[in-house]
Amino acid sequence: MRDMITGLDGEHYLRSDLDNQWDKTINVGTANRGENFVINGYLGGTNRRGAWDSADRLQFSTEGDIHLELNTDSQVITELVRFDQGIATVVASVEYGDRLSLDLTAGNYGLSFFVEGDLIDYHVRANFL
């Protein structure tokens, strides 16, 4: 099983496991209106390294004000953070919901996806308007 991301630039990222450490995550690029990225991943259970796999993370940035429509998976807890001078601050989150919608200002952001149980496959789509 592999996690697959289609980034903002259309690039495909295929990983055996998305990292759960911010300094090692994939950065999918800078978001502009009309762009999107997609995640098809696996969470829960034990990964190939024998570690519990309860979180996946990725990063993106914005250069100006933009609206984010995030279609999340109802099987995961989703958290959006903003990075300011290396410190991550939670901007919004949804627990086992299917949508997150908010306006973002210019900056660097991260998304975390968490699961509390057995292995699941999950799907997320981020649209920037």
Arithmetic mean of pLDDT over the chain: 84
Range of 50's domain? 3-128
Q: Which residue is listed with tokens 């799907």?
A: 123
Give the pLDDT confidence score for residue 120 in this predicted structure. 77
Mean pLDDT of 83-98: 90
For residue range 41-71, what is the model confidence (pLDDT) as tens digits?
877 766 566 666 677 888 999 999 999 999 9
Among 37, 13, 12, 45, which Cα is nearest to 120's?
45
Cβ neighbourhood burial of 30 (10 Å; 0-12, 13-18, 19+): middle
Give the pLDDT confidence score for residue 18 in this predicted structure. 63
For position 56, which CATH number holds?
A: 2.60.120.510
Two tokens, residue 72: 């999340």
Give the pLDDT confidence score for residue 115 in this predicted structure. 83
Cβ neighbourhood burial of 117 (10 Å; 0-12, 13-18, 19+): exposed
Domain total in the chain:
1
For residue range 9-49, what is the model confidence (pLDDT) as tens digits?
788 876 665 666 677 788 889 999 999 999 888 777 665 66
Give the pLDDT confidence score for residue 100 in this predicted structure. 92
